[in-house]
A and B are shown apart, each in its own frame.
Chain A
Amino acid sequence: MEPSESAATRHRSILAAIVSIGLLLISWQIASFFLPEFIVPGLQLIGLEFVKMFEEGTLVRDSLLTLIRVMLGLIGGFVFGGALGLLMGIAKKSENYLMPLINFVMGVPALSWTLIVILWFRGTETRIFALMLAVSFPVFAHSILDAVKGVSQELLEMTLAFRPTRSQVLRLLIFPSIVPSILTAWKVSIGFAVRVVIVAELVGASTGVGYRMVQQQSLLNMSGVLAWTLILVFMGLALQGLITKSEQHFLRWRPTAR
């Protein structure tokens, strides 16, 4: 009974989403009849833009490039930040030394980092990777530290009664305990990373979605700007959807996750 009930609720919420997005599109289309093309272009123009982008080959190439930049940067930030978080969580004294530095890095605005990495590094990819790393690792470090601190003391005592090695404690207790926090950190970081990578591409790249957007803007081609924007929105949503899917897999032991 319950699954069908939850399925019904899900159908209803999907329907609601279709209705609200549909209304937005219709109002947009109506507005496009009254306003100039470089302010509110009709949906058909945006559609044509996608066709053009696809034929030029930029649609797939630049989207993929931006996607790879986001993922590489996040993986770097996750590995580095995760290692720091784990270290601080296990060797308690290291937190006092590392946390001020991490908080300092976190306090630097993404835009400042963009300018800094342009001055520090040469190649486009190096610059973007450094930027993504700098903005994402503090988030991972913080959330993984909190997660390690949150590992149940009771479960730790139970585990220690069997006399495990240090690596067994990590593998059998700590890692599985922090999986939910890792997934949440990824969800938060993906949305953030997509926004930051665009800024970097706007300023310092000659490829990628951000660069294409600037190009379209300088041509006063609103449909082009919007088409690339939609790609970013879908990219962010798709990545977050991917995390949600993996949550259902990794957290299937949870009573709530379904």
Chain B
Amino acid sequence: MAKIECRSLTKVFTVGDDRFEAVSDLTFRVHNGELVSVVGRTGCGKSSTLHMILGLERPTSGSVIIDDKEPYTDFGYFRGRLGAVFQTDRLLPWRKALDNVAYGLEILRVAEPDRRTRAQHWLERVGLGGFENAYPHQLSGGMRQRVGIARAFCVEPEVVLCDEAFGHLDQVTATKLRGDFLELVRETRKTAVFITHDIDEAIELGNRVLVLGKPARLLMDLAIAEEVKSNTGMREELKMRILNSIEANQASA
């Protein structure tokens, strides 16, 4: 069954007399428990797509459907059902690590002893036990992003959306964090959408990769077998195919 469905999703921005089409007639489905990577060049409307899935932007035409509901129009239905990890950590600087993790639970009005226990559990789960009382500025970039991940998982959402979450980190930190994150998503059996401009990352994280052209429309929809991830040759070949399709799209534009 489709968990997330984008039907002819289109987003047009108008600045003065200029019309700028960020997302163009994008249609795809994400099934329950699937991990789908969405890859495309920077500025190809990936973030707009994510914003529409999160219900923060209204589609110009077409729609996003999750559980037969639209995230923008049925805003309240998605209370606690979506978890988002962003490009930057987006921690509240005045909250200690534990209170940042508990933020979503506070919005869901989970009462105090329970809230603290659950936040503590997730903070430990991302490897930050002992940092409960640290303010964000006292943590490294990677640790902050871990707090952000714990915050998203803490409300136990059905869907996890992830926007270039490792793009800001150095390679060593990013690789480690990506691995841990993937493990977490698999263990908790979430339905997940990863937005990224990094083809390697897209292949590593997803069991499906959607390749977007510019403006965001579907160029390829590839299932990724497990052996592709572990076989360097096959991975490189797939990577080349994706690159070629993005470049061909760019040339025709």
Chain A residues engaging chain B, CB cutoff 8 angstroms: 154-155, 157-164, 168, 172-173, 176, 179, 253-255
Taken together as a complex, chains A and B put the C-alpha atoms of A161 and B78 apart, in Å, by: 8
Cβ–Cβ contact B80 & A162, under 8 A? yes
Interface centre among B54, B94, B135 (most CB of A within 10 A): B94
Contacts of B137 in A (CB 8 A): 253-255
Contacts of B86 in A (CB 8 A): 154, 157-158
The smallest beta-carbon distance between B200 and chain A, in angstroms, is 26
Question: Of the 9-residue stretches B7-15, B100-108, B178-186, which lies at the interface with chain A?
Answer: B100-108
Q: Check if B116 is an interface residue, CB within 8 A of chain A.
A: no
Taken together as a complex, chains A and B put the C-alpha atoms of A82 and B155 apart, in Å, by: 34
Interface centre among B54, B78, B93, B96 (most CB of A within 10 A): B93
Cβ–Cβ contact A162 & B107, under 8 A? yes
Q: Check if B223 is an interface residue, CB within 8 A of chain A.
A: no
**Nearest-neighbor residue (CB-CB) of A173 within chain B:** B92
The smallest beta-carbon distance between B241 and chain A, in angstroms, is 34
Cβ–Cβ contact A253 & B135, under 8 A? yes
Cβ–Cβ contact A162 & B56, under 8 A? no
**Nearest-neighbor residue (CB-CB) of B155 within chain A:** A162
Within 8 A of A (CB), among B41-94: 51, 54, 56, 75-76, 78-80, 82-84, 86, 88, 90, 92-94
Cβ–Cβ contact A161 & B93, under 8 A? no
Contacts of A163 in B (CB 8 A): 75-76, 78-80, 107
Taken together as a complex, chains A and B put the C-alpha atoms of A238 and B236 apart, in Å, by: 69
Cβ–Cβ contact B76 & A155, under 8 A? no
Within 8 A of A (CB), among B115-160: 135-137, 155
Taken together as a complex, chains A and B put the C-alpha atoms of A254 and B93 apart, in Å, by: 7
Contacts of B80 in A (CB 8 A): 162-163
Contacts of A255 in B (CB 8 A): 137
Cβ–Cβ contact B88 & A176, under 8 A? no
Main secondary structure of the interface of A (DSSP, over half): helix
Contacts of A159 in B (CB 8 A): 103, 107
Checking B75, B88, B107 against A168 with a beta-carbon cut-off of 8 angstroms, the contacting residue is B107
The smallest beta-carbon distance between B134 and chain A, in angstroms, is 10
Cβ–Cβ contact B54 & A161, under 8 A? yes
Taken together as a complex, chains A and B put the C-alpha atoms of A159 and B108 apart, in Å, by: 11
Q: Check if B95 is an interface residue, CB within 8 A of chain A.
A: yes
Taken together as a complex, chains A and B put the C-alpha atoms of A157 and B84 apart, in Å, by: 10
Checking A172, A179, A254 against B103 with a beta-carbon cut-off of 8 angstroms, the contacting residue is A172
Q: A158-B86, A163-B75 are in contact. Are A253 and B107 (CB under 8 A)?
A: no
Cβ–Cβ contact B107 & A155, under 8 A? no
Cβ–Cβ contact A172 & B78, under 8 A? no
Checking B54, B90, B108, B136 against A154 with a beta-carbon cut-off of 8 angstroms, the contacting residue is B90
Cβ–Cβ contact B95 & A162, under 8 A? no
The smallest beta-carbon distance between A175 and chain B, in angstroms, is 10
Cβ–Cβ contact A158 & B107, under 8 A? no
**Nearest-neighbor residue (CB-CB) of A251 within chain B:** B94
Interface centre among B76, B106, B107 (most CB of A within 10 A): B107
Contacts of B76 in A (CB 8 A): 163
Other than the given A172-B106, A253-B94, A253-B136, 10 more pairs (CB < 8 A) read: A154-B90, A155-B90, A158-B86, A160-B54, A161-B82, A163-B75, A172-B103, A253-B135, A254-B93, A255-B137
Q: A154-B88, A253-B93, A254-B93 are in contact. Are A161 and B103 (CB under 8 A)?
A: no
Contacts of A253 in B (CB 8 A): 93-96, 135-137
Contacts of B135 in A (CB 8 A): 253
Cβ–Cβ contact A162 & B79, under 8 A? yes
Taken together as a complex, chains A and B put the C-alpha atoms of A214 and B53 apart, in Å, by: 69
Cβ–Cβ contact A176 & B54, under 8 A? no
Contacts of A173 in B (CB 8 A): 92
Cβ–Cβ contact A161 & B84, under 8 A? yes
**Nearest-neighbor residue (CB-CB) of A168 within chain B:** B107
Cβ–Cβ contact A162 & B90, under 8 A? no
Taken together as a complex, chains A and B put the C-alpha atoms of A40 and B75 apart, in Å, by: 72
Taken together as a complex, chains A and B put the C-alpha atoms of A34 and B51 apart, in Å, by: 77
Taken together as a complex, chains A and B put the C-alpha atoms of A220 and B122 apart, in Å, by: 73
Taken together as a complex, chains A and B put the C-alpha atoms of A203 and B51 apart, in Å, by: 60
**Nearest-neighbor residue (CB-CB) of B96 within chain A:** A253
Cβ–Cβ contact B56 & A161, under 8 A? yes
Cβ–Cβ contact B92 & A176, under 8 A? yes
Checking B51, B88, B92, B108 against A162 with a beta-carbon cut-off of 8 angstroms, the contacting residue is B108
Taken together as a complex, chains A and B put the C-alpha atoms of A92 and B104 apart, in Å, by: 27
The smallest beta-carbon distance between B109 and chain A, in angstroms, is 9
Taken together as a complex, chains A and B put the C-alpha atoms of A157 and B56 apart, in Å, by: 7
**Nearest-neighbor residue (CB-CB) of B108 within chain A:** A162
